[in-house]
C-alpha cells in the first residue's frame, strides 16, 4: 500500500485532534480544544478533558472527513494515540478508535504520542525528507523530552526528560504567579516583549557541573518556578518597593530566557556529543518565538540544521498520529491487535503498541 489513507485520533490531553492523510500528504487537520473550559482552573482538569473529548469526537470526525473529501469507507486504516498522556482522555480516543476500526473492518494502529510529534515534520510542505539520525527536542504542556531518532518507525531512544514540571507547566504556573491568564505560554511571551531578559538571573535547572554527570540531558523547571515566586515575594516585601508594581515584563522575559537557555543548551549538547548535526523541534511550546529564535541562532553557530514543523502541527493533533501510522504501513508493519489500552506512561521506545504477530 504505497499511499495509505489514514484517519488519526489524538486525545492525550485537552485537544481532540482528528487528522486525515494520504501517505505523506495532509488532507485535513481538525482540532477541537477544551482550553477555555480549563482556564478558570488555571490548568487542565483530566475529568473535564475526558468529557470534552466525548462531546467533540463525532463532530470532529465529521468535519475532518468533509474537509478531506473522503468517507469512512474510503479509509485504509485508523490510527490512535495509545499514550503517553492523561489516562481518562486517552481512554476516550482508544475506545472510539477501536469501535471505528471494528465497525469498518479496517486495520488499527496504536501509536506513541511523542513519536507522533516527530512524524509531524513529514507533513511540512515542500520540505526535504527528514534525515537520520536526528536529535528531537519535544516541548509541551505535559512533556519535555530529548530524543535520539535513528529511524522514525523502529528506533527512537530517550536521552533525557523532565524530572518534575514540564516546560509548558512551568509557563502556566509562573503566569499564575504574575496574575496572567491561562494558558501561560502565549501570555508570558507577550509580556516578555516589553521586558529585559537580562534583568534577573534566574537559575538554570540541572545545569551545574555536579548535575550534568547524572542528568546531562534531563530537565527541571520546578526550582525555576519557585525562584520566580521567591523573587516576587522579596520584591513585594521590600519597603523600598512600596507603591511600585511588580515588574511583570522583566520577570516574564528573564524567566523565559532561563527556560529557553536550558532547552537549547541541552539539545545542542546532545547534537555535539552524538555527532548529529540535525535538530528537530516539536510540541506546543515551540510556538514560543524566543525559543525558535535562540534555537536557530545558536544552532547555526554550532553547524546544526534545525527543522520546525508548521506551528499548526506542533500542538497535539490527529494528523501527526495518522502520518506516523502511514509510515508504519508503508514500512510493512502489521496493524495493532485490540489487546491494548490507554497507557499514560508509554515509553517513547514503544513506537507502535500491540503489533499483530504474523501467523
Q: In sequence order, what are the beta bridge partners of 77?
A: 6
pLDDT (0 to 100) of residue 225 = 96
At residue 1 the predicted structure's pLDDT band, cuts being 50, 70 and 90, is low
How far, CA to CA in Å, does 294 sit from each of 2, 109, 263, 264, 279? 39, 37, 10, 7, 13
pLDDT (0 to 100) of residue 307 = 97
Has 198 been labeled as part of a binding site?
no
Has 189 been labeled as part of a binding site?
yes
Mean pLDDT of 188-198: 97
Has 180 been labeled as part of a binding site?
no
pLDDT (0 to 100) of residue 359 = 63
Q: For residue 17, which of 312, 284, 352, 319 has the smallest C-alpha distance?
A: 319
| CB of 290 closer than 8 Å to CB of 259 | no
Burial 309-330 (b: 16+ CB within 10 A, else e): beeebbbbbbbbbbbbbbbbbe
Has 185 been labeled as part of a binding site?
yes
| CB of 131 closer than 8 Å to CB of 272 | no
**Stretch (H or E) spanning 81:** strand 77-83
Has 140 been labeled as part of a binding site?
yes
Distance CA 171, CA 142 (A): 11
Has 141 been labeled as part of a binding site?
yes
Mean pLDDT of 19-47: 94
| CB of 80 closer than 8 Å to CB of 340 | no
What ranges in the chain are assigned the alpha helix state H? 35-39, 46-68, 87-104, 113-119, 167-177, 184-192, 209-215, 222-237, 248-274, 289-302, 318-330
Has 288 been labeled as part of a binding site?
yes
Grid cell locating 40: 478558570
At residue 358 the predicted structure's pLDDT band, cuts being 50, 70 and 90, is confident
**The model's pTM:** 0.96
Mean pLDDT of 22-33: 97
Mean pLDDT of 192-207: 97
How far, CA to CA in Å, does 147 sit from each of 84, 107, 230, 286, 317? 15, 29, 33, 16, 20
Percent of the chain with pLDDT over 70: 99
Please determine, for residue 306, whether its predicted confidence score (pLDDT) is greater than 90: yes
Please determine, for residue 91, whether its predicted confidence score (pLDDT) is greater than 90: yes
Q: For residue 152, which of 123, 179, 187, 172 has the smallest C-alpha distance?
A: 123
- Give the β-pairing of 108-112 and 15-22: unpaired
Has 206 been labeled as part of a binding site?
no
**What are the DSSP calls for 220-232, one per residue?**
--HHHHHHHHHHH
pLDDT (0 to 100) of residue 50 = 97
Cis peptide, bond prior to residue 183, ω within 30 of zero: yes
Mean pLDDT of 23-38: 95
Q: Which residues contact 219 (CB under 8 A, 6 or more apart)?
A: 144, 146, 160, 161, 162, 163, 167, 205, 206, 262, 263, 266
Percent of the chain with pLDDT over 90: 94
Has 283 been labeled as part of a binding site?
no
| CB of 281 closer than 8 Å to CB of 308 | yes
Mean pLDDT of 46-58: 97
307-334 residue pLDDT tens = 999 999 999 999 999 999 999 999 999 9
pLDDT (0 to 100) of residue 42 = 85
Has 117 been labeled as part of a binding site?
yes
215-254 residue pLDDT tens = 999 999 999 999 999 999 999 999 999 999 999 999 999 9
Has 316 been labeled as part of a binding site?
yes
How far, CA to CA in Å, does 66 sit from each of 20, 28, 50, 83, 96? 10, 9, 25, 27, 19
Mean pLDDT rounded to a whole number for the chain: 96
Burial 167-200 (b: 16+ CB within 10 A, else e): bbbbbbbbbbbbebebbbbbbbbebbeebebeeb
Amino acid at each position: 500500500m504505497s499511499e495509505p489513507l489514514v484517519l488519526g485520533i489524538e486525545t492525550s490531553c485537552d485537544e481532540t485532534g482528528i487528522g486525515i492523510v494520504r501517505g505523506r500528504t495532509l488532507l485535513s487537520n481538525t482540532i477541537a480544544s477544551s482550553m477555555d473550559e480549563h482556564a478558570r482552573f488555571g490548568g487542565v482538569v483530566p475529568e473535564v478533558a475526558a468529557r470534552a473529548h466525548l462531546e467533540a469526537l463525532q463532530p470532529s470526525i465529521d468535519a475532518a472527513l468533509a474537509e478531506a473529501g473522503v468517507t469512512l469507507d474510503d479509509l485504509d486504516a485508523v490510527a490512535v494515540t495509545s499514550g503517553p498522556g492523561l489516562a481518562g482522555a486517552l481512554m476516550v480516543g482508544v475506545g472510539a478508535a477501536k469501535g471505528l476500526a471494528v465497525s469498518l473492518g479496517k486495520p488499527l494502529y496504536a501509536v506513541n504520542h511523542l513519536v507522533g510529534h516527530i512524524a509531524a515534520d513529514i507533513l511540512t510542505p515542500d520540505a526535504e525528507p527528514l534525515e537520520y539520525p536526528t536529535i528531537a527536542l519535544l516541548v509541551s504542556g505535559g512533556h519535555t523530552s530529548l530524543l535520539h531518532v535513528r529511524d522514525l518507525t523502529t528506533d527512537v531512544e530517550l536521552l533525557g526528560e523532565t524530572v518534575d514540571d514540564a516546560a509548558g507547566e512551568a509557563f502556566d504556573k509562573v503566569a499564575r504567579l504574575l496574575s496572567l491568564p491561562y494558558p501561560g505560554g502565549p501570555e508570558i511571551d507577550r509580556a516578555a516583549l516589553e521586558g529585559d531578559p537580562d534583568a534577573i538571573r534566574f537559575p538554570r535547572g540541572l545545569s551545574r557541573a555536579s548535575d550534568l554527570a547524572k542528568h546531562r540531558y534531563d530537565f527541571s523547571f520546578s526550582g525555576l518556578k519557585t525562584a520566580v515566586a521567591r523573587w516576587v515575594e522579596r520584591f513585594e516585601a521590600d519597603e523600598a518597593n512600596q507603591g511600585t508594581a511588580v515588574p511583570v515584563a522583566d520577570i516574564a522575559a528573564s524567566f523565559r530566557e532561563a527556560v529557553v537557555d536550558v532547552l537549547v543548551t541541552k539539545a545542542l549538547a546532545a547534537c555535539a556529543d552524538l555527532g548529529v548535526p540535525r535538530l528537530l523541534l516539536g510540541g506546543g511550546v515551540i510556538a514560543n518565538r524566543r525559543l525558535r529564535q535562540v534555537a536557530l541562532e545558536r544552532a547555526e553557530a554550532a553547524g546544526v540544521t534545525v527543522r520546525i514543523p508548521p506551528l499548526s502541527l506542533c500542538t497535539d493533533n490527529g494528523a501527526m498520529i495518522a502520518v506516523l501510522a502511514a509510515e508504519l504501513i508503508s514500512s510493512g508493519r502489521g496493524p495493532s491487535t485490540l489487546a491494548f489500552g490507554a497507557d499514560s506512561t508509554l515509553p517513547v521506545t514503544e513506537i507502535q503498541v500491540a503489533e499483530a504477530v504474523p501467523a
